[in-house]
Structure 1
Amino acid sequence: MSRKLTEAARRDWLRLARTENIGPVTFRELIARYGEASLALAALPDLARRGGRASPLGVPKVEAVLAELEAGEALGARLLCACEPDFPQMLAALDPPPPVIWARGNLSLMHRPAVAVVGARVASAGGQRFARGLAADLGAAGFVVVSGMARGVDGAAHEGALAIGTVAVLGGGIDDVYPPEHRDLYQRIVAQGCVVSENAPGRTAVAKDFPRRNRLISGLSQAVVVVEAEARSGSLITARMAAEQGREVLAVPGSPLDPRARGTNDLIRQGAALCEGVEDVLRALEGFGGLGEPERAFAPPVAASEGEIDAVRERVAGLLSPTPVSRDEIVRAAGAPAPAVIAALVELALAGRAELLPGGLVAGC
């Protein structure tokens, strides 16, 4: 369903993406069901009411969306919608893809083969040196290097790849430079590389934004290399997401005496490829399985009638808990047709009673 949107359709697409309780999964289900963002927007009040919501759903006004578009354009950034042909194929193939991203700089870098290099913020000098050297070697081998512009390993990876090609994925808006001491690095990436964000310009990142940022880092890449990571590092979340997305995962081994090696050593125990240099990355990518068809993300679902959805909705709500489970498990437990259960979950999500998560998971709110 790759297609170029009109300006009006792009505004509707962005407006739907910024609506309260609509994440990537709910967005995909709505577009698959209604075909156009404008039709989904028109249906939202009734869907949320049917899901049990008493107050109006928070849908941005057209003026707010126009202000976001103007702010992005003032920065020289471009809005890319997931259905459009210039949206990065690696992200379009995710299940589900991010509905929109903002990009600033050389956008063509997102269409080239890429490897993510991530790791500890409080990185050792040796870890930073390794990340910088690996990034330079990956660039020489024809790969763009993707990272999150954080302190430590991320910053070193961007520095190593800057001359050849690097993409920085931000947790906040496209203009949210964090840490502040990376402002000069940010400006150089804008000039020579590319900066990407899923959030609106002007937004300051909060904790919940970083898992989504990490999903984009792995999503843009064929492989993720973790250089240093403590046992509860965010880099391990990136590695897990990469594995779920069918990307290759590599880890740099370290001394058992260094807490920053616990995460990477554990990844190797779990089956991640050992990385001691660019040759290991190239070897791992020889088996890269490629991408699924992006079109599947917005394939029309089998329709369910309102009566079928009404009959199952509260039964589905009663099966949910704060612990995420697969939607297939909910379908089995409900003993109802999958289309009706999925439609009921979308209504419950819009009402704030459920959360549809990537990886086919759902949780109660």
Structure 2
Amino acid sequence: MSSTVDTMAVIESCGGEIPELEAMRKAPEKLWYRGNRSLLKKPKVSIVGTRRPVSYTRKMTMNLAATLAKRGVMIVSGAAMGVDAMAHQGAGPSRTIAVVATGIDLCYPAINASLIESIEREGLVLSQFEPESRAAAWSFVVRNELVVALGEVLVITEAEEESGSMRSAEYALMQGKEIYVLPHRLGESGGTNRLLREGLAKPIYDLEAFADRFGFMTEEVVERDEFFYFCQKNPTLDEAIALYGERIYEEELLGKIAIENGRIRPL
């Protein structure tokens, strides 16, 4: 890429600035980035999967990412070939966060150079690795944990039994994140079918219905109400009142939330 080290910026003590990272076993001390760091404050969904998706997966991954992006959701993925690239492309560069497995000054894989550069200009590219760090087997595993941590939920659109995406599923379970998958035919996507069989993931049967969890699309894109985004995290009543005051009781009377055992949950 033509970018230079001088165009980088660093988020120091990022565990405090990015609360989602508290779910990690150990949050990175710093993150290098290029692009619009304010995207980290938006609702986010992580989408991962195989580097060699079937045509059905390619189409549905792009459609899912686009459907979420129209509701103001940022798509988080790893900028790899296959599902990652489809997710970024479907959302569009301004609605995507790419987490790379190299130093941010390197472009990997080279085949995705133009995609990564467009995300740098319009979206956000993150790395937890020192500049000039090259890709290694372990760096992809470390990168995957960060991808999972940033999203509210994890979507795996296709994965085989032994794959990096299934390691991402393990991270999601450790972090208490919900896992969603696309339905596949028998003999395809053995990893996601196993997650369904074992009750560890939920299927996405309707892209629009799934995306409606994050907001509703009208003639103009409408960002999801941050109040309901907050309530989905099951906060305490005291935390909710401190931020939203009397609105808590108003929404309860409207039947949109419930207060149970000192905590808030959406209905």
2:172 is aligned with 1:228: no
- The residue number in structure 2 matching 1:265 is 193
Q: 2-side partners of 1:267 and 1:84: how far apart?
A: 30
Please show how residues 1-365 of structure 1 align to structure 2 within 5 Å: 74-82=5-13, 87-258=17-188, 261-271=189-199, 272-276=201-205, 277-280=207-210, 282-283=212-213, 288-289=232-233
Aligned mates of 2:110, 2:233 — CA distance in 1: 38
The answer (yes or no) to whether the contact 1:139–1:164 under 8 Å persists in 2 is no
* C-alpha distance in structure 2 between counterparts of 1:83 and 1:106, whole Å: 15
How far 1:270 sits from its partner (Å)? Answer: 2.4
Q: Residue 262 of structure 2 aligns with which residue?
A: none
Does the 8 Å contact 2:14/2:30 carry over to 1? Answer: no
- Residues 110 and 160 from structure 1, CA distance in 2 versus in 1: closer, same or farther, beyond 3 angstroms? same
Distance 2:74 2:92 in 1: 9
TM-score (norm: length of structure 1): 0.56
Decide whether aligned partners of structure 1 residues 266 and 283 sit closer, same or farther in structure 2, where only a CA change above 3 A counts: farther
Q: Deviations over 1:155-182 (max 9, x none)?
A: 0100011254100111111123222110
Query: In 2 relative to 1, CA 154–112 (structure 1 residues): closer, same or farther, beyond 3 Å?
Result: same
**1:73 deviation in Å?**
7.8
Q: Could you tell me how far apart the structure 2 residues matched to 1:203 and 1:219 are? A: 22
Q: 1:273 to 1:205 in 2, by over 3 A?
A: same
Report the Cα distance in structure 1 between the residues aligned to 2:53 and 2:197, rounded to whole angstroms. 22
Distance in 2 between residues matched to 1:84 and 1:236, nearest whole Å: 25
Q: Distance in 2 between matches of 1:167 and 1:250?
A: 19
Separation in 2 of the partners of 1:170 and 1:176?
Answer: 9
User: Which secondary structure does the structure 2 equivalent of 1:146 belong to?
Assistant: strand
Bigger radius of gyration = 1
The equivalent of 2:254 in structure 1 is none
User: What root-mean-square deviation, in Å, do the aligned CA atoms of Structure 1 and Structure 2 show?
Assistant: 2.4
- Cα offset, 1:291, TM superposition: 7.9
Residue of structure 2 in register with 1:37 after alignment: none
Sequence identity, in percent? 33
Aligned residues: 218
What are the Cα deviations for residues 40-68 of structure 1, in whole angstroms up to 9, with x where unaligned?
Answer: xxxxxxxxxxxxxxxxxxxxxxxxxxxxx
The Cα shift of 1:75 comes to 4.0
- For 1:164 and 1:189, the matched residues in 2 are separated by 7
5+ residue gaps, structure 2: 215-227, 237-267
CA–CA distance in 1 between the matches of 2:212 and 2:151? Answer: 13
Give the Cα–Cα distance (whole angstroms) in 1 for the partners of residues 67 and 94 of structure 2. Answer: 10
**Cα contact 2:98–2:124 (8 A) shared by 1:** yes
Letter in 2 for 1:137: T
Q: String of CA shifts for 1:94-139, please: whole Å, max 9, x gaps.
A: 3431111111111111121100111110111221111111001111
Mean Cα displacement is larger for which, 157-166 or 206-215? 157-166
Q: 1:121 to 1:185 in 2, by over 3 A?
A: same
**Aligned-pair distance for 1:184?**
0.5
CA distance in 1, matches of 2:10, 2:163: 31
* Change beyond 3 A, Cα 1:226–1:83: closer
Query: Structure 1, unaligned stretches of length 5 or more?
Result: 1-71, 293-365
TM-score (norm 2): 0.75
* Distance (Å, rounded) in 1 between the aligned partners of 2:109 and 2:15: 32
Closer, same or farther in 2 for the Cα pair 1:291/1:149, shift >3 Å?
Answer: farther
Distance in 1 of aligned mates of 2:122 and 2:234: 28
